Structure 1
Amino acid sequence: MALYEVPFASANGRDEIKAWIYTPATIRPRGIVQLVHGLGEHSRRYLHLIATLLEHGYVVAADDHAGHGATAMASGIWQDAGEHGDKVVVEDERRLREIVTERFPDLPYILFGHSWGSMIARALSATHPEGLAGAIYCGPVAHMRGLEDPAVEQALDTAIAERGGEALDTDGLSALMFVGVNERYGDGVPPTAWVALDEGVVADHAIDPYNNFGAPMTLRFAKSFCTLYRRCNGTAWAESMPTDLPVLILAGDQDPVGNYGEGAYALANDLWAAGLRDVRTRVWTGVRHEVHNEPTTRAEVETEVLAFVGRFAREG
């Protein structure tokens, strides 16, 4: 494997986005997969998937979003992407894709977005689909209880009007977006029990300093999360998608941010109604949010991913 650091200026005019391109060492590249990580994490949490893709000949591009991971470690600013953060994070992923395709101009390009990253990928798929071979939405945030409640966004608007968007969410308003996420898992569970069934995955998520779990969001970041959620769900989003784009949706039926599997099927149904016919949905029974990290499903998820990207791969 060869690893290239490709930092670039964020669209927010403040951050330098830390980004990397992983390339297979002994296999001629067959395609490119851009990994778009989720909320409160970073791109190295996908190393198992990255290693699998490299082994099969794929270039992998990934970054740590504004307010996250190595980017936040350098800036000291966590859980904030600047003004209009919903647009910033999408534009930053577009810029990373531009950097990668400048180096590898002739390879098929596939987006893989998990959780919040699936929201970013869904928005990017709709606004900049040119040259995109396919898209994978993993652990999609859809039909999520807290985000479906208009009172949450109204409360954020009120707080922003009173204190400004850069103020930290000291009132816990962002927690309303995640209301009830652990209610099916019993009493006394860790705050991120909803992430995975495996206790080791949950514990690792909690102690990882590049996750910085518990860092408060700014009010404007929480608002941007709500804005992006509306932008990448529903009929209007689906109808903005190119009808010839192949899509793979991966989820667990015990994942609260996807309404226990229903959100994944809702995305697929919206895409079908909008005219997309190459849509595959795989929902694992008894599995929570990180189907790609859960030890019992990780191999099957990677098999699904390899089968999907293999459809577009260049012959070695």
Structure 2
Amino acid sequence: MTTARVWEFAGTRGAVAARFWSAAEPWYVAVLVHGYGEHLGRYGHVVDVLVRHGAAVCGPDHMGHGRSAGERALIEEYDDVVADAHTVVEAARRDHPDLPVVMIGHSMGGLVATRYAQAHDGALAALVLSGPVLGRWHVVDELLPLDEIPDTPIDTSLLSRDPAVGKAYTEDPLVWHGPFKKPTVRALDTALKRVNEHGSLGDLPTFYMHGAADELVRPRDTRVGLDAVGGTDLTERLYPGARHEIFNETNNEEVLADVTAFVEGVLT
């Protein structure tokens, strides 16, 4: 894997760990925004593809996730996560002031990335959304009314058709394996409504990609969000049979090739 430069900064609610990788002569910046309960360390193969493609790659572990500070998997306000992502983007811009920025958000990170694009109009050259939590999320709908959230482990077979992905997820000490926190569920509900209400992404080139067999973040729910925020330059791709983590799926080479082809199409 490409060697990372590690940076820790004072985030909105404590220390945030961020990482930077770079091609020898990068021609764009790619910002990775990871999903709920995980961390950026799970994206090593994604980083390698992007760096070989000519990117300077960066991204944070969100508050309460991975190597960042905070109570595990606790997020009380998603605009704080957006603000931390912006700190990383600004640091990358200082290093590469003339390069276009592409943001790539997976799952909950897709929600954060979409909100970032709304809040920082014109900051991104392109947006890539992988199985994004947008519109509505059945997990939030089911958990929000409960006084006590059950400690039900994730069915890791829903992540990918490759059983090695689920095994690695289960054995990863930096992945959160406990239940949702009630404030996090409330914050997700607020963020979903905020993004829906904010409106269109305008002419921002956006690539929406999703596993057609995703039962963790269902495409039909995401469709609600796309109808609310999708702009005039939206590309869509559903992968038949693929589950939630399309970057870790059995056809991940195809998926990542689609990402780099999209970036080339936009930036060149």
Same fold (TM over 0.5): yes
* Residues 1:249 and 2:208 are matched in the alignment: yes
- The AA in structure 1 aligned to 2:208 is I
- State the alpha-carbon separation in 1 of the partners of residues 12 and 30 from structure 2: 22
- State the alpha-carbon separation in 1 of the partners of residues 254 and 56 from structure 2: 21
Q: Which residues of structure 1 form unaligned runs of 5+?
A: 160-170, 179-189
- State the alpha-carbon separation in 1 of the partners of residues 206 and 198 from structure 2: 14
3-state DSSP of counterpart to 2:191: helix
Q: TM-score, normalised by structure 2?
A: 0.90
1:44 to 41, 46, 50: 41
Deviation of 1:308 after TM superposition, in Å, equals: 1.5
Deviation of 1:263 after TM superposition, in Å, equals: 3.4
2:240 to 276, 285, 288: 285
- The AA in structure 2 aligned to 1:114 is H
- The AA in structure 1 aligned to 2:20 is I
Match of 1:194 in 2: 158
Describe the shift of the 1:304–1:264 C-alpha distance in structure 2 as closer, same or farther (beyond 3 A): farther
CA contact (8 A) 1:31 1:312 kept: no
Match of 1:207 in 2: 171
Match of 1:34 in 2: 31
Deviation of 1:2 after TM superposition, in Å, equals: 5.4
Match of 1:20 in 2: 19
- The AA in structure 2 aligned to 1:172 is I
3-state DSSP of counterpart to 2:81: helix
- State the alpha-carbon separation in 1 of the partners of residues 249 and 255 from structure 2: 9
Match of 1:231 in 2: 194
- State the alpha-carbon separation in 1 of the partners of residues 185 and 141 from structure 2: 14
Match of 2:78 in 1: 86
1:144 to 100, 116, 137: 137
> Residue by residue, what CA displacement relative to the aligned partner does 1:270-289 show, whole Å, maximum 9, x if unpaired?
345xxx22101101111110
- The AA in structure 1 aligned to 2:249 is E
Within a 5 Å distance, the mapping from 1:290-301 to structure 2 comes to 290-295=245-250, 297-301=251-255
Instruction: State which structure, 1 or 2, has the greater radius of gyration over its C-alpha atoms.
Output: 1
- State the alpha-carbon separation in 2 of the partners of residues 237 and 29 from structure 1: 33
Match of 2:227 in 1: 269
Q: TM-score, normalised by structure 1?
A: 0.77
- State the alpha-carbon separation in 1 of the partners of residues 81 and 119 from structure 2: 13
- State the alpha-carbon separation in 2 of the partners of residues 29 and 300 from structure 1: 23
* Residues 1:109 and 2:101 are matched in the alignment: yes
* Residues 1:4 and 2:5 are matched in the alignment: yes
Q: Which residues of structure 2 form unaligned runs of 5+?
A: none
> Residue by residue, what CA displacement relative to the aligned partner does 1:27-51 show, whole Å, maximum 9, x if unpaired?
x111011000000100011111110
> Residue by residue, what CA displacement relative to the aligned partner does 1:283-304 show, whole Å, maximum 9, x if unpaired?
1111110011112x20111111
> Residue by residue, what CA displacement relative to the aligned partner does 1:134-158 show, whole Å, maximum 9, x if unpaired?
1011011244323346xx4344xxx
- State the alpha-carbon separation in 2 of the partners of residues 173 and 97 from structure 1: 36
Deviation of 1:100 after TM superposition, in Å, equals: 1.0
Match of 1:153 in 2: 144
Number of matched residues?
A: 266
